[in-house]
Amino acid sequence: MSAVREDWVAARGRALSGDTGVPGDKSISHRAVMLAALADGVSRIDGFLEGEDTRATAAIFRAMGVRIDAPSESTRVVHGVGLDGLRAPASLLDCGNSGTAMRLLSGLLAGQPFDTVLGGDASLSRRPMLRVMAPLRAMGAAIDSDDGERPPLRIAGGHRLQGIRFDSPVASAQVKSAVLLAGLYAEGGTEVHEPHPTRDYTERMLSAFGWPVDYAPGMARLAGGHRLRARDIEVPGDFSSAAFLIVAATLVPGSSLVLRSVGVDPRRTGLLDALRAMGADIRERERRAGACGPLADLEVRYAPLHGIALPEALVADMIDEFPVFAIAAACAQGTTRVTGAAELRVKESDRIHAMATGLAALGADVRETPDGMVIEGGRLRAGRVDSLGDHRIAMAFAVAAQRVEGEVAIADVANVATSFPGFDALVRSLGFALERAPPISG
Ligand code: S3P
């Protein structure tokens, strides 16, 4: 959580050009610290995301007795304590803004012999947790919260866990991962089935750390009673961070950008399919396999876009990309319809509402629906928007400003540091006009 409020003023810069990497993948960085902490031996993580969310996870494991060194920027050396080596923390474990930290940790801590309390910032404290509490209780965990469904979460240790078969009502990698991580400590087998396949980093990385996992798109199964073996992890660039640059280069005439070593797992790259269906020019080069999924260099050139009816099958594969997708749609010719995306209402902010309100403030014709929105493409004009403290809303409107005559004031952007530290300096170097502003009042 960022204590100091920050605002931006963004405006159209020049055509984007450059050749750059993006910060490490957030999902993989969280999991790398968690699994390395529980492994036998020392693991080195390169490309670790130096963001507030992932630092919170590292701090939580330090508070439970795990030595984590940071010998250089973006490197962590984790001295694993083994599956049963965590120690009771002295106080509440602060997950900051991170739903991933809280939900994955709730599963992992359910199997410990000691009590824990997981808390977070104002945004995280509004987010639904029953989706993990219910299956964890079915496994025998004692997990509670004051209002029954929102943080802080109190987990009483010392309960024996039993494996379950869980048919998840939501397509959520966080829910799946919470159940699988509890499954490490459970008697017997644990199996999760999903309504739509979600990112499988927990499954892949458990396997890479030597724990047998049986998985396919939409299902994962493991059994307790194994050990995790330390290993080195190379974290790819975060596709969700690259997404802002991909859309910006697509929208600004004359742009040509190369993004190096970006994770392009198909469960993350739905935005590429959506943008290509709208007419975008995005090419993959040097596709290669990594321990955490495929990576590639991406070449993006300006292209005029047209609106689409977004296939619902793509929603889970671009779940974090809707803020910037909405900007692409607002700058496209014609109508874009999003349906089947009600999950967006329970992210770091209500992203359907945040985008509809912000785009309307810039003169766009947008209609909110319960599970999506209808966006009429057109011209955007200068105005003021509020990110509602949501990192991805803030960055999406910085991209929108690249298509506006005049200035876009963006309020409450400090949380960009949760996932994309250095965003402002990087986008300036690529062509954006974006400055810190004195706080916007009113
Ligand atoms: C994440 C899963 C997604 C995503 C989040 C990271 C993960 O959340 O939105 O940014 O690392 O597992 P849900 O599982 O709630 O969809």
Ligand 1 atom showing the smallest separation from residue 347 Cα: 9
Pocket test for ligand 1, best of 97, 172, 206, 268 (most atoms within 8 A of CB): 172
Ligand 1 test: best mutation among 33, 53, 95, 100, most atoms within 8 Å of CB?
A: 100
CATH 3.65.10.10-classified regions of the chain? 7-24+236-437, 26-234
Centroid of ligand 1 to alpha carbon of 192 (angstroms): 16
172 CB within 6 A, ligand 1: yes
Atom of ligand 1 nearest to the CA of 319: 9
Q: Which contacts qualify for 85-91: CB closer than 8 Å, 24 or more apart? A: 85/38, 86/37, 86/38, 86/61, 86/112, 86/114, 87/114, 88/64, 88/114, 88/115, 88/116, 88/157, 89/60, 89/63, 89/64, 89/116, 90/63, 91/63
Q: From first to last of the 442 residues of the chain, give the pLDDT tens digit.
A: 445 789 999 999 999 999 999 999 999 999 999 999 999 999 999 999 999 999 999 999 999 999 999 999 999 999 999 999 999 999 999 999 999 999 999 999 999 999 999 999 999 999 999 999 999 999 999 999 999 999 999 999 999 999 999 999 999 999 999 999 999 999 999 999 999 999 999 999 999 999 999 999 999 999 999 999 999 999 999 999 999 999 999 999 999 999 999 999 999 999 999 999 999 999 999 999 998 999 999 999 999 999 999 999 999 999 999 999 999 999 999 999 999 999 999 999 999 999 999 999 999 999 999 999 999 999 999 999 999 999 999 999 999 999 999 999 999 999 999 999 999 999 999 999 999 986 545 4
* 97 CB near ligand 1 (under 6 Å): no
pLDDT at 5: 86
What distance in Å separates the CA atoms of residue 124 and residue 168, rounded to the nearest whole number? 21
> Which residues are CB-neighbours of 31 under 8 A, at least 6 positions away?
104, 177, 201, 202, 205
The CATH number of the structural domain formed by 7-24+236-437 is: 3.65.10.10
Angle formed at CA 160 by CA 78 and CA 65, multiple of 5 degrees? 25
Say how far apart CA 53 and CA 60 lie, in whole Å: 11
Q: How far is the CA of 385 from the centre of ligand 1 (A)?
A: 25
Full-model pTM: 0.97
Class of domain 26-234: alpha beta
Q: Of all atoms in ligand 1, which is nearest to the CA of residue 320?
A: 9
Task: List residues with catalytic annotation.
Answer: 320
